[in-house]
Amino acid sequence: MMATAEVALQLYDGAGPQFWGSNIGYRKSGSSFPCRSFERCRKKRVLKSMKSLKCLSSSCRGIRIHQFPCINGVSHRYAATDKFGLSHCKCQSADNVGGLTAESGNGTWFVDNAKDFNSTNGNVRNFLELGAVKELKHDKELHHSNGNPPSDKTIQDGMNKGKSSFIENEAWELLQESVAYYCGSPVGTIAAKDPTSSSVLNYDQVFIRDFIPSGIAFLLKGEYDIVRNFILHTLQLQSWEKTMDCHSPGQGLMPASFKVRTVPLDVDDTATEEVLDPDFGEAAIGRVAPVDSGLWWIILLRAYGKCSGDLSVQERIDVQTGIKMILRLCLADGFDMFPTLLVTDGSCMIDRRMGIHGHPLEIQALFYSALLCAREMLAPEDGSADLLRALNNRLIALSFHIREYYWIDMKKLNEIYRYKTEEYSYDAVNKFNIYPDQISPWLVGWMPNKGGYLIGNLQPAHMDFRFFSLGNLWSIVSNLATTDQSHAILDLIEAKWADLVADMPFKICYPALDGQEWQIITGCDPKNTPWSYHNGGSWPTLLWQLTVACIKMNRPEIAAKAVEVAEKRLSRDKWPEYYDTKRGRFIGKQSRLFQTWSIAGYLVAKLLLANPGAAKILITEEDSELINALSCAISSSPRRRRGPKPSQKTYIV
């Protein structure tokens, strides 16, 4: 086991190819200018009174200019106006941005399913209610025709079905209402549309991470345009010039969110234009860099291709460049000893200080998933061989590291409990010098006999034993966890139902930080008090990730049970962002209502439970090529030859 660990480290600490950190590759434009893009849709100011961001085609003039100095060293520009210079919105559709479309793909995954689904899921409440009633009636007739009256359970089931399709229908309506338009085209969904909230903050923006469940819901419904537009417009924003106090973050960074703004035109004060205004964290509370945005973007891009069958988007040169820019940022060499991605606090769904700096599980699961998705989508070409090699090495090292060092169950916990410390050697058992006293008292009682999970974070002399839901669920979905580990995580969820689901699924992390720990780790954050918000709050949006994970492990009944719990309250409570208290009984203290990803998360869970096969657009399976590569690397490792006695153990714990 030790020898294998060392080999994994070899793959990225020098013995492996060093091509990737050396800045060759995608800054090859030779341009010293940052990539820039401008997206504008102009209209006469007279439209302002219409309180709409939509650019009405009968009365506006569209101009868009795109510059891509970073694409293959060539600067692409596009500008369009009506031949009379007014009257018609000439906003270019997202498809034509850059004009670099490759051939259309011919994949057909799930297209038919999605179409079928589309045709049976209208947005008209009455239609669905009627449908539910009809179904009930049909059930009744069926039973009567068998000579048996319907049982109470049948009637109850029928009523529940009717209720849930009513809720689903409401959810679809709300999701449609949250759609943000740019130049008349749907480009995303805003985070929340809460009429009861006095301060909007940035909840009127389209968040990249929040849009993922919306995008998946639209894909499953056969509405592909909004997802394609979102992918292409956010790609434009990736190249935005961005700074914070004179410092510019890396080129591949995707924004946390963007807003469609209507601004007066400099040159013509009778006219306005629409612009997409991104936030890369330079305005976000705490100025946190959204590391997860680019990773989610890649995951959604793959899902779009798989679901719609339209591979032309991922094949476009600008999209391929976008993928490579994200990878370049993630795979760049740093000072790190670990294959895990090193990030600051609050770089993901938990976007405030919560002690998740360093190597938090959520980022690693998304990183692994994005690497696998990118590997599938990158076009084979001469220039990408080095990148693919770097990517493969990282995948192997990352899966080894997480499976081996982040995993805990009763057995492992007992091992840690008996750890020796201060070992200086290549083959130390306690590599990270974890002091057993760190094992928190809550964990000793909490760990079930059957089940286990991946810990939240690992640093030298520090294991964060908190259970973080998204990281664990996405480790199942992406196959970062082994099959046994994945089942064990679901076993733990079942065993700890009262803590993780209780009255509202799903706890964002368990347990909450309290007392002095809360003071020190959150910086006395009043929004993150114990059992609230990020600190042990319950987030309905997590239902969709739970559902995908359960479907992958062929245990959908667990997700179905959680959906049932959520269904009792979500609509009645007006789709809150999160719930507070240990059992998730109260609507969160500062929770928004009509939070879009609560709505979309519920819809995705319902859609996938009705059609589990569709979850394939998000799932990635164990890759035999990677496993083989790892065993080859293990047997040829110089460290292994140097070590005292070669280990026979396989790398999967």
What does the binding site for ligand GLC look like in residue numbers (CB under 6 A)? Answer: 191, 207, 209-210, 349, 351
- Closest contact distance (angstroms) between CB of 352 and ligand GLC is 7
From 323, 138, 159, 128, select the one nearest 238 (Cα to Cα): 323
**Nearer of residues 283 and 332 to ligand GLC, judged by Cβ:** 283
- Closest contact distance (angstroms) between CB of 351 and ligand GLC is 5
105 with 91: CB under 8 angstroms? no
Q: Give me the residue label for tokens 């990183």.
A: 367
Q: How far apart are CA 567 and CA 540, in angstroms?
A: 10
183 with 91: CB under 8 angstroms? yes
Which residues are 277's β-sheet partners? 259
**Nearer of residues 68 and 207 to ligand GLC, judged by Cβ:** 207
- Closest contact distance (angstroms) between CB of 267 and ligand GLC is 35
- Closest contact distance (angstroms) between CB of 197 and ligand GLC is 12
Residue 152 corresponds to which amino acid?
D
Q: How far apart are CA 296 and CA 314, in angstroms?
A: 14
**Nearer of residues 281 and 309 to ligand GLC, judged by Cβ:** 281
Cβ contacts of 470 within 8 Å, gap of 6 or more? 348, 349, 362, 365, 508, 542, 545
Q: What is the sign of the dihedral through the CA atoms of 494, 497, 503 and 506?
A: negative
**Nearer of residues 61 and 209 to ligand GLC, judged by Cβ:** 209
- Closest contact distance (angstroms) between CB of 596 and ligand GLC is 8
Q: How buried is residue 26: exposed, middle or buried, by Cβ count under 10 Å (0-12/13-18/19+)? A: buried
Count of C-beta atoms within a 10 Å radius of residue 552: 24
Cα-based distances in Å from 591 to 509, 585, 639? 17, 13, 53
Q: How far apart are CA 99 and CA 391, in angstroms?
A: 29
- Closest contact distance (angstroms) between CB of 519 and ligand GLC is 21
Rounded to 5 degrees, φ, ψ at 179 are -65, 135
**Nearer of residues 55 and 191 to ligand GLC, judged by Cβ:** 191
Residue 14 corresponds to which amino acid?
G
- Closest contact distance (angstroms) between CB of 209 and ligand GLC is 5
Count of C-beta atoms within a 10 Å radius of residue 258: 28
- Closest contact distance (angstroms) between CB of 220 and ligand GLC is 21
**Nearer of residues 322 and 576 to ligand GLC, judged by Cβ:** 576
**Reduced to 3 states, what is the DSSP secondary structure of residue 560?**
helix
Structure tokens given for 145: 């025709």
**Nearer of residues 212 and 443 to ligand GLC, judged by Cβ:** 212
Ranked by CB distance to ligand GLC, the top (closest) residue is: 191
**Nearer of residues 174 and 349 to ligand GLC, judged by Cβ:** 349
Longest CA–CA span in the chain (Å) reads 81
Instruction: Report which secondary-structure segment, H or E, holds 43.
Output: strand 40-44
**Nearer of residues 207 and 506 to ligand GLC, judged by Cβ:** 207
- Closest contact distance (angstroms) between CB of 199 and ligand GLC is 13
**Nearer of residues 221 and 353 to ligand GLC, judged by Cβ:** 353
- Closest contact distance (angstroms) between CB of 327 and ligand GLC is 23
Q: What is the sign of the dihedral through the CA atoms of 493, 543, 611 and 110?
A: negative
